[in-house]
Amino acid sequence: MLRIRSVPSTQRIFKRFNSTLPPTLSQLFKNPPVDRDLTINGYVRSVRSYKKVSFLDLSDGSTHESLMCVLQPGQAVDLKTGQSVSLQGKWVQSRGKEQAYEFKTHPQESSVKIIGDVPETYPLQKKLHTLQYLRTLPTLRWRTSYLSSILRFRSFVDFKLNEFFQSRDFTKVNPPIITSSDCEGAGELFQVESRNAELGKEPFFGKNAYLTVSTQLHLELLAASLGNVWTLSPVFRAESSDTNRHLSEFWMLEAEISFVDEVEQITKFTEDMIKSVLKDLVNDTNGVASNLLSSQRRTDDFEQMNAKLKQRWDNLYNKSWDSITYDKAIQTLQESGVEFKIPVDYNDGLATEHEKWLASHFGGPLFVTDYPKDIKPFYMKLNKDGKTVGCFDLIVPDVGEIIGGSLREHDLLRLEQEISKRDMKVDELKWYTSLRENGSVPHGGFGLGFERLICYLTGVENVRDVVPLPRAHDECQA
């Protein structure tokens, strides 16, 4: 009898990719092809030539590790840091102690090919460059071991969050980037118009349109049909703030959850979400933690910084996160005796320095709940006291707020009254309020500043060092 076994489509896809794509150094390190002839590709990180032998450190961006390549002296004559090269040879056991394997090129001169040359002025030489200097090299700075590890870590966190939401039966959606609504009501909007627009003519979209500051309102629309939804999307704010924690274009993870009526349901969910990422860091699953730590910049306080980072991960993962009301937060700040640069005022909200101090004072991540309604957006659900809203901010030491969320007002009359009180444009929000007329349900959600989370988990102080091409006030390179 002839038996035909069905091969899963995903397996067929991976087999095809593995057989047709050149192997990366990361793949080769994980599955060393010992004593096999192969071709490897990458960038020259450094070259050292001696009388009888030359050594080349090769990197391809797939891992923080570089591969030691052993060359004949004549093969290294034209090699320079930064060049892209293709090498033919064998993957062999290393004689040295620094790494288990090395790559030995074949003796023929043609075994070393320069694919792309670099000028003599190539700026990334083998020395420690400041992050400030590297920001002036937008097309090259990600070739450094440290910064490339940050982008790989960012990719890892993205993957883990996808995994978490998939396991909780959420639907990932793609809300629009162009909108006619100002979700936050702050007015920090980039207006969108056709380049060919003529003065006095009807706007391209028939009305004023903007780059979104938050996808929340559209997520609520989708949640009314799909249940629990989430997205990781770029958002835009026309802020002129020139600080190490502000960008004009950044990524926001936002989620809307149906049939929740307690803030604690959402805070517990966000805690579980972040801890799902921390689990692999604390346990060093697949070497994700050791890879990040090994690529840290070799400054004088290198070991101290790594110890602090590991302590931060452990504290995040193993500790239950505290929660206090906004009233309690203000009281704690006022009784602290600390002279803050920005005075503590109940009606002004919490400044970043207040948030950092509170999180450090309570020894870790801290939820602050029930803010006064007048300092929060119109869509938040009013508490029974009539003065505060069912909302929360998650604040962490050294960074401040990284998540903000709330219950949403699902009662049509109350929502319309709040919009009117704030002198907002009722007509532009009609589509949003209409959601309350067609089977409205209690719901809530949150937004996570993705770059701020990456900064906190990696110890990077400037948000511009965790995003590929920063867009900020007076900065739009490449």
Q: Are residues 108 and 162 in the same domain?
A: no
Q: For residue 273, is it within any domain?
A: yes
At 303 the pLDDT is 84
Q: Tally Cβ neighbours within 10 Å of residue 100.
A: 11
Name the residue type at position 440.
Answer: S
Tens digits of residue pLDDT in 440-459: 999 999 999 999 999 999 99
Q: Answer whether residue 328 shows pLDDT above 70.
A: yes
Match 């960074």 to its residue by tokens.
399
Question: 388 exposed, middle or buried (CB, 10 Å; 0-12, 13-18, 19+)?
Answer: buried
* 154 dihedral zone (left: phi>0; alpha: psi -120 to 50; beta): alpha
- 212-256 residue pLDDT tens: 999 999 999 999 999 999 999 999 999 887 788 889 999 999 999
Are 122 and 181 in the same domain?
Answer: no
What are the pLDDT digits (tens) for 276-327?
999 999 998 888 888 888 887 666 677 888 899 999 999 999 999 999 999 9
Residue 195 is predicted with a pLDDT of: 82
The mean per-residue pLDDT over the stretch 339-351 comes to: 96
Residue-wise pLDDT for 12-63, tens only, equals 334 434 568 999 999 999 999 999 999 999 999 999 999 899 999 999 999 9
Cβ contact 65:295 at 8 Å: no
Query: At which of 127, 150, 167 does a domain end?
Result: 127
Gyration radius of the chain over CA positions: 27
Mean pLDDT, rounded, of the chain:
91
Tokens of 54: 């030359």
Question: Looking at 127, 150, 180, which one is the last position of a domain?
Answer: 127
Give domain status of residue 116, yes or no: yes
Q: Specify the higher pLDDT residue, 125 or 334.
A: 334
State which of 99, 127, 155 marks the end of a domain.
127
Tokens representing 409 are 């007002």
Structural domain boundaries enclosing 220? 141-465
The CATH number assigned to the domain holding 351 equals 3.30.930.10
Average pLDDT (94-110) is: 88
